Structure 1
Amino acid sequence: MATLIASRVHELTAQRRPFVHATVVRAQQPTSAVPGDDAVILADGSIEGFVGGVCAETSVRAAALDTLRDGKTLLLRVLPDGAASFPEAPGALVVVNPCLSGGAIEIFLRPMLPRPLLGVSGTATPIGAAVAELAAFLDLETTNPMAYAGASAVVVAGLGRDDEKAIRAALDAGVPLIALVASHTRSAAVLDALGLTDEERARVRPHAGLDIGARTHKEIALSVLAEIVKEIRTGVASAPAPAARSLLPISDISERSGNPAAGASARTVVDPVCGMRVVVGDDVPQAVVDGVEYWFCCVGCRDSFVAGR
């Protein structure tokens, strides 16, 4: 199982799909999970692998979606109702799961989000080459020239070679931030020649880069990437424009209506019996009572609810 999950982690990373890698790090008997068991949880709430029975999975699904939203790792402690807790661990999320068989487990959740994608046009120029080199150091993933779909930003550093073509390609791909490396005068001429709409022009940064008094090619690259990192972190360039999105931004991996399908995000509801958060899905116990749909953490809660109505 560990080999299969490791292969799946590699595959999902290569596909730039957001997911959570969950690993059981501690377990108390009786429980079906043992330390080292692991799984991946996708943005639709589906689980591949094993981190415990169906009751534990319910808590893992909900917590995993939270980590996809904020990008932070989490130690999830799942305790049966009325059980003595593990020794304190600062930063752990404790959930009481009334349908556990009596054991308690701790699961480390690590959200795996795609690295920001950066397009670089003009890698044959000294500045373009420096941008590509520094981008790798900053853990930005670079794309092939003109393959800009899904990019958070594009640096146009052709210094007069195909700059207009690169800008047009980036705009058509929905890239939210296009950094043009050029003087103020040439930047104005390039943008005027393109005949851009107001919306398109707002996405282009003429004479890109923060003012750090840069002189060398590497310093110019630093100033350009500093501006891009700033805008990515402040949300301006966190994701491509809607027409070109290949991935949901973190803020969109949230609670939505409808059953989750491959590639869709999931929604969570509250089990009306035990109060647990439940991720809606085809394999989740469900019942329709008086025309209203309800979902439950386990079959026991569902049967109890239906019997009481």
Structure 2
Amino acid sequence: MSEFIGMPAPRRRAPAAADLQARAAELRSGREAYVLATVVRAQRPTSAKAGDRALVLSDGTMEGFVGGVCATDTVRAQGLRLLELRRTDRSVLLRITPEAEEPREEDGLIAVGQPCLSGGTLEIFLEAVLPPVLVHVYGDSPIARAFAAVGRAMGYQVEVSADPLAAIAGDTAAVLVASHGVAEEPVLREALAKGVPYIGLIASRRRGAAVLARVDGGERVHVPAGLDIGARTPGEVAVSVYAELISLR
């Protein structure tokens, strides 16, 4: 009841910053999306203070402390809204105040009226933290190595394997096959079965057609993979394929 008009209840103990940082690191390593909520300004009376933090998970769970029940519910709702946008650069300043009548949004600011606040105003910075794009590269060729180098330079998480039976994670955004004819079909079938959005095969149009004729659903595979930019070197081929991936995403 600490957010209702009247005297605020004693402030609850917030989790240690190190604990929250460790939890955030755990979420990142597990490729789980979350929103980091940080109180940047607290106009008393409020139960939160500047520097308080919380994590909003994709299932609505909140860990940490950014205020009482009314503030928490608002932060949860706006945090989930950010996660639904699925943009890595998405952040917003949330102002929760009893003075606003209707929600208002402009230039990275969302102002939300909350009459059950105890009279103060909170400004909370919300930052969506999404897992990096996951790319599975199959092969041990110069082009496969270029896929790894270019993808990592772009900030993607690139998993490289020369094992055609290696597992493909369910949230993989792209599978790039660059083994030059070695055990391509099992990888393509697995990628198609997992519903990977982008599947690229490094092969000539003629050889690629012969390979895909033996793979159900092969019409979804991009071959020759990449945009036609006159690529010749492994690095140029990698750039052309990632450019196609970006254009389609």
Same fold, TM exceeding 0.5?
yes
1:138 matched to 2:138? The reply is no
Partner residue, 1:100: 117
Per-residue deviation, residues 49-108 of structure 1 (Å, max 9, x unmatched) = 00011111111111111111223211000102479xxxxx95211001000011111000
For residues 195-206 of structure 1, the aligned pairs below 5 Å read 195-196=215-216, 200-206=217-223
Q: Does 1:210 align with 2:227?
A: yes
In the alignment, what sits opposite 1:91?
108
Q: How many residues align?
A: 222
Residues 37 and 53, structure 2, Cα contact 8 Å, conserved in 1: yes
Q: 1:147 aligns with which of 141, 160, 167?
A: 167
CA displacement, residues 14-58 of structure 1 (integer Å, 9 cap, x when unaligned): 111111110001111111111110010111212110001111111
Aligned to 2:41: 26
Asked if 2 retains the 8 angstrom alpha-carbon contact of 1:149 and 1:174, the reply is no
Alpha-carbon distance in structure 2 between the residues aligned to 1:156 and 1:14 = 25
Relative to the length of structure 1, the TM-score reads 0.69
CA shift in 2, pair 1:127/1:59, >3 Å: same
State the one-letter code of the partner of 1:213. Answer: G
Structure 1 residues without counterparts, runs of 5 or longer: 84-88, 233-309
Query: Does residue 1:67 correspond to 2:82, yes or no?
Result: yes
Cα drift, residue 142 of structure 1: 1.6
Matches within 5 A, 1:1-309: 1-70=16-85, 71=87, 72-81=90-99, 90-122=107-139, 124-145=140-161, 146-150=166-170, 151-192=172-213, 194-196=214-216, 200-232=217-249
**Measured at CA, do residues 101 and 217 of structure 1 come closer, stay the same or move farther in structure 2, by a change above 3 Å?**
same
**Counterpart Cα distance in 1 of 2:61 and 2:223:** 44
Alignment-mate amino acid for residue 21 of structure 1: L
- The whole-number CA distance in structure 2 between the counterparts of 1:165 and 1:98 is 59
The amino acid that maps onto 1:148 is I
TM-score with structure 2 setting the length: 0.85
Q: 2:115 & 2:51 partners in 1: Cα distance?
A: 24
Q: Compute the RMSD of aligned alpha carbons.
A: 1.6
* Letter in structure 1 aligned against 2:218: R
CA contact (8 A) 1:20 1:110 kept: yes
Q: Is the 8 A contact 2:136 2:160 kept in 1?
A: yes
Identify the residue that residue 9 of structure 2 maps to in structure 1: none
Deviations 1:193-242, CA, capped at 9 Å, x for gaps: x242xxx223211111100011111101111111112112xxxxxxxxxx
User: Residues of 1 paired with 2:158 and 2:31: CA distance?
Assistant: 13
Q: Identity percentage over the alignment?
A: 46
Structure 2 CA distance for aligned equivalents of residues 60 and 133 of structure 1: 38
Please list the CA deviations of residues 118-148 of structure 1 after superposition, one character each: whole Å capped at 9, or x if unmatched: 11001x2000100110000111112353321
- SS of 1:44's equivalent? coil
Residue pair 2:212, 2:219 contacting (<8 A) in 1 also: no
Kept in 1: contact 2:188–2:215 (CA 8 A): no
State how far apart, in whole Å, the 2-side matches of 1:186 and 1:9 are. Answer: 46
Offset at 1:174? 2.5
Give the partner amino acid of 1:152: A
Q: Distance in 2 between matches of 1:201 and 1:106?
A: 51
